[in-house]
Structure formats: structure tokens, C-alpha cells
Amino acid sequence: MYVVIVYDVSVERVNKVKKFLRQHLHWVQNSVFEGEVTRAEFERIKATLQQLIDENEDSIVIYKLRSRPFREIIGVEKNPMGDII
Amino acid sequence: MYVVIVYDVSVERVNKVKKFLRQHLHWVQNSVFEGEVTRAEFERIKATLQQLIDENEDSIVIYKLRSRPFREIIGVEKNPMGDII
């Protein structure tokens, strides 16, 4: 499955979240990562994110898609993702 | 079509972007909006965003999907979107 993850995490914890997601997904923009994952990987990512954030303060939105979606960028393309094409 | 829009816009311009998107889409999280739009609406939204942002500094990612995707939230559900269900 293909996931798009957008996080809104307090500054004290954001670097840990970013570092973790970088190991598993592709960075798209400031607080957006995406990538193809297996169901098992997805469950591990979710479990780790739950440990890394404060669930009473932070918020992470995960979109679960069947395949890589069509994406358009307006303005600066902060990470052209050339690495995965 | 269903769009998910994530913006990374400088503080001087972010309120205008948020206010505009709020008129057309549903707020999901800090910098994420989504909603069903026609192709014509989508083109208008894109054109207006291009005017509102500084294309050399800001970045907006638009995912174009066929239908509303499955979405999971970890942590605080900042906007349960009860208004559109």
C-alpha cells in the first residue's frame, strides 16, 4: 500500500519523528512523507509513531492509498524525489 | 476528483492561504485541507494559490485522488470533519 503521512508535532519531538520517517519513507515537503509499504511495515511505523509523539498534543494524519497518487507542486519543489523514480 | 492539499507557506502569507482554502475544502490538520472538487474548481483553486504564495519561497503539495481516501489519525484529531460525513 502507498501511504502519505503528514505530521503536526511539537518542536521538542519533531526531529525524532522526522528522523524515523526518513528511514522508511520519502520526504516530500516540510512535514510530509510518502512511500510504498507492506502492511507489516505500516503497522510498525504506526506503533513507533505512537511511541514518539505525545498523543494528547501532537497529530499525525496518514492517508492509505492503493498506489502512488498523482501529485502536483505549486511553488518550491523542496524534494523532487528523483531518488525513487 | 478528491484533493488533499498540504501547504508550507511563510507566516506572512499563511493566513491568506488558510482563509482561501477554508472556503473551498475541509480542514484536516494544521496545514492540510481536503475535499471533493470539480476540475474547474480545482483549476481555480490552483490559480488562486499561485497568486497568494511566493512561488520562490513557499511550497504547496496537491494530491489528486479519484475518491476520498482512507485516513487514520494518530494523536489529536484536530478536526473530526463531522461536518462532511
pLDDT for A5 beyond 90: yes
pLDDT, one tens digit per residue, over A33-85 is 999 999 999 999 999 999 999 999 999 999 999 999 999 999 998 775 544 44
Query: pLDDT-based confidence at B81, cuts 50/70/90?
Result: low
Does B34 map to a domain?
Answer: yes
CATH number, position A51: 3.30.70.240
pLDDT, one tens digit per residue, over B55-76 is 999 999 999 999 999 999 999 9
Alpha carbon distance A28, B67 (integer Å): 22
Residues of B near A (Cβ–Cβ under 8 Å) read 4, 6, 8, 28-32, 46, 49-50, 53-65, 69-78
Does B40 map to a domain?
Answer: yes
Domain range for A8: 2-65
- How many CB atoms within 10 Å of residue B75? 20
Does B56 map to a domain?
Answer: yes
Chain B residues with CB inside 8 Å of A54's CB?
75
Residues of A near B (Cβ–Cβ under 8 Å) read 4, 6, 8, 28-32, 46, 49-50, 53-65, 69-78
The most distant pair of C-alpha atoms in chain B lies apart, rounded to whole Å, by 37
Does B82 map to a domain?
Answer: no
Does A83 map to a domain?
Answer: no
Does B77 map to a domain?
Answer: no
Does B43 map to a domain?
Answer: yes
- At residue B7, what is the residue type? Y
Q: Enter the ipTM.
A: 0.87
How many domains would you assign to chain A? Answer: 1
Does A74 map to a domain?
Answer: no
Q: A73: Cβ–Cβ under 8 A, 6 or more apart, which residues? A: A29, B59, B60, B61, B62
C-alpha cell, A56 = 494528547
